[in-house]
């Protein structure tokens, strides 16, 4: 089954959020709560249920962190994040700040996203697509 651009973006957004909350090796309750709310609010059009997808993403992210392959992992879904780069940055900023502390690792990923990976999409004059999540 071919996923819609919206669904591919939603899955990439989950991957990004999980990476950012795990990258400093400190998972807080506020980060977990934010992630859960964000995931629950996404429109989901996949044959794989959200919970199974999220569990797999947690495993894949942990593997990337443990093997030092974070940049390779991030590049795997960078293009899908460009679908709504503004929303991706909104979520990235929120999940890295929700616990009141941004680690050096989180700041490094945020910088990479804004200055390299999503820079073109963020500075584009085009309007971002309609919101991928419902307002909470």
Please write the tens of the pLDDT for every residue from 55-82: 999 999 999 999 999 999 999 999 999 9
54 with 14: CB under 8 angstroms? yes
Residue 88 maps to a domain: yes
Q: What percent of the chain has pLDDT over 90?
A: 65
Select from 134, 114, 98, 129 the least CA-distant residue to 17. 98
Please write the tens of the pLDDT for every residue from 15-37: 999 999 999 888 889 999 999 99
pTM: 0.86
Residue 106 maps to a domain: yes
Residue 39 maps to a domain: yes
Residue 56 maps to a domain: yes
Domain that holds residue 77: 5-123
The CATH number for 26's domain is 1.10.3680
Query: If you compute the radius of gyration of the chain from its CA atoms, what whole number of angstroms results?
Result: 14
Q: How many domains does the chain fold into?
A: 1
Task: Give 91's Cβ-side CA count (13 Å radius).
Answer: 29
């Amino acid at each position: 089954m071919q996923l819609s651009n919206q669904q591919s973006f939603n899955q990439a957004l989950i991957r990004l959020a999980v990476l950012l909350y795990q990258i400093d090796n400190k998972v807080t309750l506020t980060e977990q709560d934010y992630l859960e709310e964000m995931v629950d609010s996404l429109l989901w059009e996949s044959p794989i249920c959200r919970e199974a997808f999220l569990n797999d993403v947690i495993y894949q992210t942990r593997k990337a962190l443990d093997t030092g392959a974070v940049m390779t992992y991030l590049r795997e879904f960078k293009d899908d994040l460009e679908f709504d780069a503004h929303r991706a940055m909104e979520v990235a900023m929120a999940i890295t700040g929700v616990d009141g502390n941004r680690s050096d690792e989180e700041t490094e990923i945020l910088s990479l996203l804004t200055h390299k990976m999503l820079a073109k999409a963020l500075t584009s004059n085009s309007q971002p697509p309609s919101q991928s999540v419902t307002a909470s």
